[in-house]
Amino acid sequence: MSRRDAFAPALTNRLATFLRAETARGTAPNARPVAGASASVTRFSDGRDRVNLGSNNYLGLTTDPRVVAGARAALDAYGTGACGSRMLNGTTDLHLALEEELADFYGVEAAVVTPSGFTANLAVLSAVGAPGDVLMVDGQAHASLHAGAQASRATVMRFRHNDAADLRRRLERTDPGVGVAVVVDGVYSMHGGVAELVDVLAVCREAGARLVVDEAHGVGVLGALGRGAAEAAGVLAEVDAVTVTLSKALGSAGGAVLTSAALADGLRSAAVPYMFATSNVPASVGAALAAVRVLREEPELPARVRALGDLLRRMFWAAGVNALPGDGPIVAVPVGAASETALAWKRVFDAGVYVNAATFPVVPRDESILRLSVMATHTEEQLARGVAAIAAALRDHPSQDRSVQLPTQRSEAVVPIRS
């Protein structure tokens, strides 16, 4: 009897097989190297500039002179790397300043900076929950939340996406004596949908459960001050722990957990990424600190990016393209089969516009989408180029065969970029 190959799941998984086939025909929608900054127009390795509607650089801060200066100053002062974990020699004065700035911005007792947004979720979820406790995770939550939950000693259960009634039913069936934490995204990354946080929080309070909200795609985007979906819903002060990434709207790299001083102390003494992962590159911490300060100085930036996202959706609808409704900068255009999505993506790329193609397992099977995301630095002309390229790529596609009417509700005006 021959031994089964332990590498087989990685060698034969469905996505790898799909990408190999699409690579062979030149339409694989992955890993197109860039040769310039992630900006509203980005140079790719083929030497061509393209309108970049596929970056999570929502506020356009990767090229902001203040953010670049923050990174450069940190590089000069601290060198290229920390070469140790936060628990050892990897904590700099910049880490402490960033934690203080984030805690003050969010109005919480403490912040714990981690090497990435993924490890922020891994840190908090792997450190909470005793055997027998329950982590109740939204079915469409980000992979980092599911990975963090699986690393916990607690039992992991899923509830139907954005369904507070299903959450209530499942909580009612749990032992009333065990600890429970509910885990959701503030903004769901593929389609841009926003969590029903008012209803979810009400269920949590009824059941005596904790609530963890990942604001990776909410920070810098939603809320009057740009603190995310919980701020926009008016429940930020009642959330038990918020996680953020520094790699999207804040234009850097890293993550943070925003919570009570007691839980922050617990994470510093028990969270695996804090204790064992090498700390953030100092330049990324300097850039993130500068970016948070830019956001606090210019609270009009989140309003601008939301208005541009709304404008892009309305431009799609006017062009007869079936873009999904939403409230932020993420705009999803359904295509259907993965192979058709890959072909549409290639047509758009060749037309001088970069977007993301999302296929299974990122989205459900046969529900693949073109995922776009706007930046506060985009112009209306650049958005129009994106709409024209996608409309041409999807012409005569079955999912785009019906007219889409402009909404009747008012939308936010586009806020000019401060010069």
At a CB cut-off of 8 Å and minimum separation 6, what does 365 contact? none
At a CB cut-off of 8 Å and minimum separation 6, what does 163 contact? none
Query: Dihedral (C-alpha) 9, 14, 20, 25: value to the nearest 10 degrees?
Result: 170
Both 104 and 209 in a single domain?
Answer: yes
| Residue 77 maps to a domain | yes
| Residue 58 maps to a domain | no
Alpha-carbon gap, residue 99 to 142, rounded angstroms? 24
- Write out the DSSP string of 332-401: EEEEESHHHHHHHHHHHHHTTEE-EEE-TTTS-TT-EEEEEE--TT--HHHHHHHHHHHHHHTTT-GGG-
Both 149 and 109 in a single domain?
Answer: yes
Both 293 and 304 in a single domain?
Answer: no
Q: What is the pLDDT of residues 148-206, one digit of tens each?
A: 999 999 999 999 999 999 999 999 999 999 999 999 999 999 999 999 999 999 999 99
Both 243 and 306 in a single domain?
Answer: no
CATH number reported for the structural domain that contains residue 162 in this entry: 3.40.640.10
Return the beta strands (E) in 68-209 as ranges: 110-114, 134-138, 155-159, 180-185
pLDDT band at 13 (very low <50, low <70, confident <90, very high): confident
pLDDT of residue 365: 84
pLDDT of residue 407: 41
| Residue 38 maps to a domain | yes
**Final residue belonging to a domain, choices 297, 331, 348:** 297
| Residue 59 maps to a domain | no
Both 238 and 269 in a single domain?
Answer: yes
| Structural domain boundaries, residue 318 | 21-52+300-400
Question: 330 - beta bridge partners?
Answer: 373
Both 115 and 160 in a single domain?
Answer: yes
Structural domains counted in the chain: 2
Q: Which of 111-120, 305-314, 403-412 has the lowest mean pLDDT?
A: 403-412
Both 131 and 86 in a single domain?
Answer: yes
Both 242 and 367 in a single domain?
Answer: no
pLDDT band at 97 (very low <50, low <70, confident <90, very high): very high
Both 25 and 102 in a single domain?
Answer: no
| Residue 8 maps to a domain | no
pLDDT band at 19 (very low <50, low <70, confident <90, very high): confident
pLDDT of residue 28: 72
Tokens of 290: 């500068």
Q: What is the pLDDT of residues 228-277, one digit of tens each?
A: 999 999 999 999 999 999 999 999 999 999 999 999 999 999 999 999 99
Q: What is the pLDDT of residues 276-311, one digit of tens each?
A: 999 999 999 999 999 999 999 999 999 999 999 999
| Residue 60 maps to a domain | no
| Residue 335 maps to a domain | yes
Alpha-carbon gap, residue 240 to 181, rounded angstroms? 9
| Residue 7 maps to a domain | no
Both 283 and 211 in a single domain?
Answer: yes
Both 177 and 282 in a single domain?
Answer: yes
CATH number reported for the structural domain that contains residue 325 in this entry: 3.90.1150.10
Both 134 and 37 in a single domain?
Answer: no
Alpha-carbon gap, residue 316 to 374, rounded angstroms? 13
**Final residue belonging to a domain, choices 261, 278, 297:** 297
Q: 397 pLDDT exceeds 70?
A: no
pLDDT of residue 405: 40
Kindly report the pTM of this predicted structure: 0.91
**Final residue belonging to a domain, choices 245, 269, 297:** 297
